[in-house]
Amino acid sequence: MPYRSTENTRRKKDAKRTAMMQAAVRVFAQKGYHAATVRDIVAEADVAIGTFYFYFPDKETLFNHLFEETATFMLQTLEQALNSRTTFAAKLEAAVQAYVNIAFYEPAVVQLLLIGGVGSVPALVERRSGYREKLIRTWQRTLATALEHQEIMPQNVRRTAEGLAGGFDEIMLNLLSLPGKEHEGQEAISDMIQFGLRASGYIYA
């Protein structure tokens, strides 16, 4: 019985922390880092302000935790999509689809990773650089495999990986700013796939 009680308590704590993290993503996306307050976050999460300070000493610490968890989620989703297919063209399609799904259903996540806290959270500079490097290396590994299998033209796969990572992010940022983005989602997926195939020098069989 004591163990069950402890387990239940842990789950409740985890649920409150998760609720705050999810609320914070929305609040930061809506108001920006500077304008967002701790009171905004606890109101969105429907928890007491004391609960916030039980988990985080301040807003900046929360933001850094939020960025790390969001970056991990994005990278894992991309890896799963790439690993779910065998050919380069299929891998590219799966990865683009996964990215667009996240961007359309959780746009605040993409905004947090790409522009959230820019210039406002000094400690985030290194974390953001680390995330970008991991993202580029994920694409680089995929391209290197495609090159080994002679699916793409000979090239510097590092530079191509940088281009794909940056290009896809720029497309998504612009797309999310459009008022009627929902109607352009499928077309955007097709455009991004074609861009990726061209940029990587894909060799059509």
Q: Specify whether 184 is located in the same domain as 90.
A: yes
Query: What pLDDT score does 122 carry?
Result: 79
Q: Which domain holds residue 74?
A: 60-199
Q: Are residues 191 and 129 in the same domain?
A: yes
- Residue 185's nearest CA partner among 104, 77, 106 is 104
Report the alpha-carbon distance of residue 106 to residue 100 in Å, rounded.
10
pLDDT in the model for residue 7 = 64
In a domain, 204, yes or no: no
End of a domain among 56, 76, 92? 56
pLDDT, one tens digit per residue, over 178-194 is 776 666 767 889 999 99
CATH number where 182 lies: 1.10.357.10
pLDDT of 173 reads 86
Q: Specify the number of domains making up the chain.
A: 2
Residue-level pLDDT at 181: 63
Q: Other CB atoms closer than 10 Å to residue 201's CB: what's the count?
A: 15
Task: Point out the domain boundary residue: 23, 39, 56.
Answer: 56
Do residues 93 and 149 share a domain? yes
pTM of the model: 0.84
Residues 32 and 93 in one domain: no
Q: Along the chain (205 residues), what's the average pLDDT of each consecutive run of 10 residues?
A: 55 78 87 88 91 90 89 94 96 95 85 78 84 96 97 98 96 81 76 96 90
93 and 176 part of one domain:
yes
Separation between Cα atoms, residue 35 and residue 28, nearest integer Å: 8
We report the CATH number of the domain holding residue 51 as: 1.10.10.60
Per-residue 3-state assignment (H helix, E strand, C coil) for the chain: CHHHHHHHHHHHHHHHHHHHHHHHHHHHHHHHHHHCCHHHHHHHHCCCHHHHHHHCCCHHHHHHHHHHHHHHHHHHHHHHHHHCCCCHHHHHHHHHHHHHHHHHHCHHHHHHHHCCCCCCCCCHHHHHHHHHHHHHHHHHHHHHHHHHCCCECCCCHHHHHHHHHHHHHHHHHHHHCCCCHHHHHHHHHHHHHHHHHHHCCECCC
- Structural domain includes residue 205: no
- The pLDDT value recorded for residue 191 is 93
The answer on 94 and 8 residing in a single domain is no
pLDDT digit string, tens, across residues 81-106: 999 999 999 999 999 999 998 888 88
